[in-house]
Amino acid sequence: MKDEKPQKKAYEVDFRALSSGEVRAEQIAQVTELSDLFGLSAEQCGILLRHFKWQKERLIERYMDNMERVLDEAGLGSEYAVTPVLEKIPGFTCDICCDEGRGLFTYSMKCDHRYCANCYRQYLESKIKDEGEAARVQCPASGCSRIVDSKTMKLLIAPDVYKR
């Protein structure tokens, strides 16, 4: 009688659990590889990979087919390179707090969902502190998938929260 290994079923696969350090090293390697391939910053590639749930091959394929669409869907459209600024808009009323003060600083990304800076700040800090989310925070508007980039975060939130 032969030494026969038990046959695996089609859905059974061999795997090895990675340590958190190994996972982080693999993420850095993928970000670096895509940064070199696409000519984008590491931050942009990290956002793209998270948007594609770390499916690198799928990202590369879709990016090569339609770069502008992929960047826009991931929240990295053409305005990504623009430095964000706070603005005072005459007659503006914040849809969150309903404040309509004359000297009210407001902020909006390319999606044009504008809120007062205080509400935007509270929203972002809540996402970071309460939900542990920092890399894929979306616009506060219901149904908007525009990603808040690090430049906007730096502009709106406190430095100690930004470091998280």
User: Is 81's pLDDT higher than 70?
Assistant: no
Residue with tokens 């509400």: 119
Strands of the chain, DSSP E: 87-88, 105-107, 115-116
User: Is 2's pLDDT higher than 90?
Assistant: no
User: Is 135's pLDDT higher than 60?
Assistant: yes
User: Is 162's pLDDT higher than 80?
Assistant: no
Domain boundaries in the chain? 20-80, 82-162
Give bridge partners of residue 107 from the DSSP assignment: 115
Confidence of residue 44 (pLDDT cuts 50, 70, 90): confident
User: Is 25's pLDDT higher than 90?
Assistant: yes
Q: Report pLDDT for 106.
A: 92
Q: Report pLDDT for 146.
A: 80
Average of per-residue pLDDT across 74-83 = 70
Residue with tokens 């808009």: 89
Fold of 82-162: Herpes Virus-1 (3.30.40)
Q: Which two tokens stand for residue 35?
A: 């940064």
Q: Give the pTM.
A: 0.64
CA distance 9 to 3: 19
Per-chain mean pLDDT for the chain = 85
